[in-house]
């Protein structure tokens, strides 16, 4: 099997994956656009009635955005192609001396694919760092809220006990 045949197989595989991804995205959009069918209501005995969860608002739901489509249609295949082609060149270069004779052409292609791929990877890592920072900030705020709540409950319990003791002393003095 020559390297051209392997590249053709890789191209066909990537095309099939892209078609599958387009299908998944289109199904997701179709689900959002089509009206929902009303649920059939059944008359249940009183014992079996359960509270239904309220549907989430549009703001609370996360939908498919243009950036999501861009990442899955362009960025992910580009990064995978770059990594796959670089691995292919390394593997065939170790086994075939003809590849080593044309290594400049291969490294140029890897560099052309690698520029955008590295930018995409860097952006993905920046987004991940931002999410981690947001999680950390959220948990700090949550922890501070718990501490403040516990302090307030403790102060309130102390005030209630102080008022109860004052009332008890007033009642004793009246006797």
User: Tens of pLDDT along 145-160?
Assistant: 999 999 999 999 999 9
pLDDT over 90 at 164, yes or no: yes
Q: Is position 46 within any domain?
A: no
Percent of the chain surpassing pLDDT 90 = 18
pLDDT over 70 at 118, yes or no: yes
User: Quick one: tokens of 33?
Assistant: 């656009």
Alpha helices in 34-102 (DSSP H): 66-70, 76-95, 97-101
From the list 6, 8, 21, 3, the residue with the least C-alpha distance to 77 is 21
Q: Mean pLDDT for the chain?
A: 79
CB 118 within 8 A of CB 86: no
Q: Is position 52 within any domain?
A: no
pLDDT over 60 at 105, yes or no: yes
pLDDT of residue 57: 54
Q: Is position 55 within any domain?
A: no
Percent of the chain surpassing pLDDT 70 = 78
In the chain, the number of structural domains is 1
Q: Residue 11 belongs to what domain range?
A: 3-33+63-174
How far apart are alpha carbons 175 and 172 in whole angstroms?
5
**What's CA 83's distance to the chain center, in Å?**
23
Lowest mean pLDDT among 64-78, 85-99, 118-132: 64-78
- Confidence tier at 121 by pLDDT (50, 70, 90): confident
Q: Identify the helix (H) or strand (E) that includes residue 95.
A: helix 76-95
From the list 89, 115, 83, the residue with the least C-alpha distance to 104 is 89
pLDDT of residue 127: 83
Angle at 110 between CA 105 and CA 111, to 5 degrees: 95
User: Tens of pLDDT along 15-59?
Assistant: 777 777 777 777 777 777 777 666 666 655 555 445 555 555 554
pLDDT of residue 49: 46
Q: Is position 40 within any domain?
A: no
pTM here? Answer: 0.45
Q: Is position 137 within any domain?
A: yes
């Amino acid at each position: 099997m020559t390297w051209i045949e392997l590249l053709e197989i890789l191209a066909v595989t990537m095309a099939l994956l892209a078609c599958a991804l387009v299908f998944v995205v289109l199904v997701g959009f179709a689900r959002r656009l089509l009206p929902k069918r009303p649920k059939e209501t059944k008359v249940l005995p009183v014992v079996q009635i359960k509270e239904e969860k309220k549907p989430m608002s549009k703001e609370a739901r996360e939908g498919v955005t243009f950036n999501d489509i861009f990442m899955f249609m362009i960025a992910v295949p580009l990064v995978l192609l770059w990594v796959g082609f670089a691995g292919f060149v390394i593997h065939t270069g170790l086994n075939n001396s003809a590849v080593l004779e044309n290594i400049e052409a291969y490294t140029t292609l890897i560099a052309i694919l690698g520029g955008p791929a590295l930018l995409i990877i860097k952006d993905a890592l920046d987004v991940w760092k931002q999410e981690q920072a947001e999680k950390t900030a959220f948990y700090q705020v949550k922890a501070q809220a718990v501490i403040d709540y516990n302090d307030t409950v403790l102060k309130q319990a102390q005030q209630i006990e102080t008022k109860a003791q004052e009332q008890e002393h007033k009642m004793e003095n009246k006797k």
